[in-house]
């Protein structure tokens, strides 16, 4: 490993000293320019390949969510005489949930910045804040589901409610699993410190958490706001 | 691996950045703490705009859905740029191409389902009075 690393870094040093073939307008088409991950200069570093693989997973996860979104969009009016979204959704609760998850995403970013400074205390603190905000979000969601089930508006009431519980519940499950992952990462970081594999896992967790917030943007817009306004 | 090894590892890829990696863009508006603060602020503004658009009567009712979709797409863009650090730089080409393919599939699945199911609803046989009662 150390041999290969030495060879790569000397290639990079040579490349940046001359010009960069992969920055059009900045270089002059130097055929000897090396850049990892472009078929030259060897494979990209493990940090890049791991994060890219996780990025592909996240996109496939989003594609799975799109199937739930499609089912909900098709069935949104199929209430079978039962309660509609307008009667069920409490926008104040949704606004609080949105604020919690958005702030959680932001503090997750602050944890990433603390990680770059290699500050253990700050990283653990922001990760803890991120987790607490996520847990509060999940608590509000479970409360909402329980209230709906108590009002005879459970998932078996209508096709609309089946699709609603499947979509929002799937997102909630992701948040719950993310919290477990977050706790594991805090423990691993505490015990093992800023080792390369821990940094990779923390980075993947950050990607996961931000992606969940992006999916929530689609949910609060298309499910709650659209359902309550029409 | 020691810490020194990992630092060399990070220095390796000045021209191929991982998704969400931000060391590249530290001198740009989307990098570092200012980037996160800017993204957070923009996301809050867009969220408030979404809730207002859905609840005020100012917007022509059939157009509310368009406004909400536009605001949601804008907010997703803010998240991608400021939180996930996705840029159009050449070091990000792989990440952006994967995202573009994901967006294509998501669009096909969602819009295709709505389109096809809308047509099927229109072409259904007429309902009996009892069936009609069961409809919303």
**Among residues A74, A48, A96, A19, which one has the least CA distance to residue A200?**
A48
Same domain, yes or no: A39 and A60: no
What residue numbers bound the domain in which B82 lies?
11-134
Distance CA B74, CA A4 (A): 43
Same domain, yes or no: A39 and A152: no
Chain B residues in contact with A54 by the CB 8 A cut-off are: 19
In a domain, B6, yes or no: no
pLDDT, tens only, B48-99 = 999 999 888 788 888 899 999 999 999 999 999 999 988 777 778 889 999 9
- State the average pLDDT for chain B: 80
Same domain, yes or no: A5 and A81: no
Number of separate domains in chain A: 2
What residue numbers bound the domain in which A13 lies?
1-43
One digit per residue, pLDDT tens: chain A, 230 residues? 344 444 444 444 444 444 444 544 443 344 444 555 555 566 778 888 899 999 999 999 999 999 999 999 999 988 888 898 889 999 999 999 999 999 999 999 999 999 999 999 999 999 999 999 999 999 999 999 999 999 989 899 999 999 999 999 999 999 999 999 999 999 999 999 999 999 999 999 999 999 999 999 999 999 999 988 86
CB contact under 8 A, A22 and B90: yes
The pLDDT of residue A28 is 38
At residue B13 the predicted structure's pLDDT band, cuts being 50, 70 and 90, is low
In a domain, B78, yes or no: yes
What percentage of residues in chain B have a pLDDT greater than 90? 42
Same domain, yes or no: A180 and A103: yes
Burial A97-128 (b: 16+ CB within 10 A, else e): bbebbbbbbbbbbbbbbbbeeeeeeebbebbe
The pLDDT of residue B87 is 78
Distance CA A139, CA B92 (A): 37
CB-based contact A203:B20 (threshold 8 Å): yes
Same domain, yes or no: A50 and A89: yes
Give the CATH number of the domain where residue A156 resides: 1.20.120.80
In a domain, B85, yes or no: yes
In a domain, B4, yes or no: no
In a domain, B1, yes or no: no
Distance CA A12, CA A17 (A): 8
Same domain, yes or no: A30 and A100: no
In a domain, B60, yes or no: yes
Same domain, yes or no: A86 and A30: no
Task: Kindly tell me if the per-residue pLDDT of B123 is higher than 80.
Answer: no
Task: Kindly tell me if the per-residue pLDDT of B111 is higher than 60.
Answer: yes
Å from A119 to nearest chain B CA?
Answer: 14
Same domain, yes or no: A77 and A17: no
Number of separate domains in chain B: 1
Same domain, yes or no: A34 and A55: no
CB contact under 8 A, B51 and A206: no
Distance CA A62, CA A56 (A): 10
| Residue A51 near chain B (CB below 8 Å) | yes
Same domain, yes or no: A157 and A77: yes
Same domain, yes or no: A107 and A11: no
CB contact under 8 A, B16 and A230: no
| Residue B25 near chain A (CB below 8 Å) | no
Same domain, yes or no: A124 and A21: no
Å from B94 to nearest chain A CA?
Answer: 8
């Amino acid at each position: 490993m150390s041999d290969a690393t030495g060879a790569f870094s000397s290639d990079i040093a040579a490349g940046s000293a001359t010009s960069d073939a992969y920055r059009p307008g900045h270089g002059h088409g130097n055929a000897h320019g090396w850049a990892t991950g472009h078929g030259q200069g060897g494979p990209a570093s493990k940090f890049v390949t791991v994060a890219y693989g996780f990025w592909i997973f996240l996109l496939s996860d989003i594609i799975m969510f799109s199937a739930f979104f499609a089912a909900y969009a098709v069935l949104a009016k199929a209430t079978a005489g039962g309660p509609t979204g307008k009667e069920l959704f409490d926008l104040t609760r949704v606004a609080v949930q949105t604020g919690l998850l958005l702030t959680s995403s932001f503090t997750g970013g602050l944890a990433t910045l603390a990680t770059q400074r290699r500050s253990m205390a700050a990283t653990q603190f922001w990760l803890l804040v991120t987790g607490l905000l996520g847990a509060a979000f999940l608590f509000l969601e479970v409360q909402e589901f329980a209230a709906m089930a108590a009002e005879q508006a459970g998932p078996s009431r209508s096709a609309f409610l089946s699709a609603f519980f499947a979509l929002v519940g799937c997102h909630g499950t992701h948040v719950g699993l993310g919290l477990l992952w977050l706790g594991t990462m805090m423990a691993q970081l505490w015990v093992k410190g800023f080792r390369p594999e821990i940094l990779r896992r923390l980075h993947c967790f950050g990607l996961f958490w931000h992606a969940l917030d992006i999916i929530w943007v689609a949910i609060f817009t298309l499910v709650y706001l659209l359902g309550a306004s029409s | 691996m020691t810490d020194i090894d990992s630092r060399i590892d990070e220095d390796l890829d000045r021209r191929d950045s991982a998704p969400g990696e931000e060391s590249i863009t530290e001198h740009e508006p989307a990098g570092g703490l200012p980037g996160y603060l800017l993204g957070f602020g923009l996301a809050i503004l867009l969220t408030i705009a979404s809730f207002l658009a859905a609840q005020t009567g100012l917007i022509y009712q059939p157009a509310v859905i368009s406004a909400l979709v536009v605001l949601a797409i804008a907010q997703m863009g803010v998240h991608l740029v400021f939180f996930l650090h996705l840029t159009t730089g050449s070091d990000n080409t792989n990440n952006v191409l994967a995202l573009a393919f994901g967006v294509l599939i998501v669009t096909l699945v969602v819009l295709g389902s709505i389109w096809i199911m809308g047509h099927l609803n229109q072409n259904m046989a007429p309902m009996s009075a009892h069936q009609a009662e069961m409809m919303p």
